Amino acid sequence: MEESLAIGLGGGPGIRDAEEILDRAREDEREAIEARTRYREDGLPVLEVDGPVAERLRAGETVIDARTSAVVSRHLRGDGTEDHPGRLYLTTQRLMVVGGAPLDVELAEIDELALAGERLLVTLRDGTGLSIDASRPRLMRVQIAAALAAGRT
């Protein structure tokens, strides 16, 4: 009886999972707000990278952020999708997935950014889109927006 009462009052695993998701979303939102302020005051961060990523950088391009584990799904015209799992890098010029199925997307091709739950949705100018499944999607949205704004100035 006590166990069923505890579950009915919010003690079940589903409620705990929902609370953890909500806590992560709140922390992500807090980090996004702080980053927005920091980027306005100090500019974009620069991450030091080496190896294959450093070799792929163009002149004047720097890495702003790296996510160790991500899946970027590219939604093609029609019903097709391509999944690109790997390490996700945000640079001053593009999104790069390094892994089994590499992907490069120019930031200049981004038309719109939106959140859907814990995924970042990116609409591209050619009518295709990306769905990014990575940690801290709210922070990533702010980082991409800041890189886009810096590229326009």
pLDDT value at 74 more than 50: yes
What percentage of the chain exceeds 70 in pLDDT? 92
- Look up the pTM and report it: 0.84
pLDDT, one tens digit per residue, over 32-42 is 999 999 999 99
**pLDDT given for residue 10 in this prediction:** 56
**pLDDT given for residue 11 in this prediction:** 65
Strands (E), the chain: 63-75, 81-91, 94-98, 103-106, 110-116, 119-124, 129-134
Order of all β-strands in the sheet with 81-91: 103-106, 94-98, 81-91, 63-75, 129-134, 119-124, 110-116
The rounded mean pLDDT for the chain is: 89
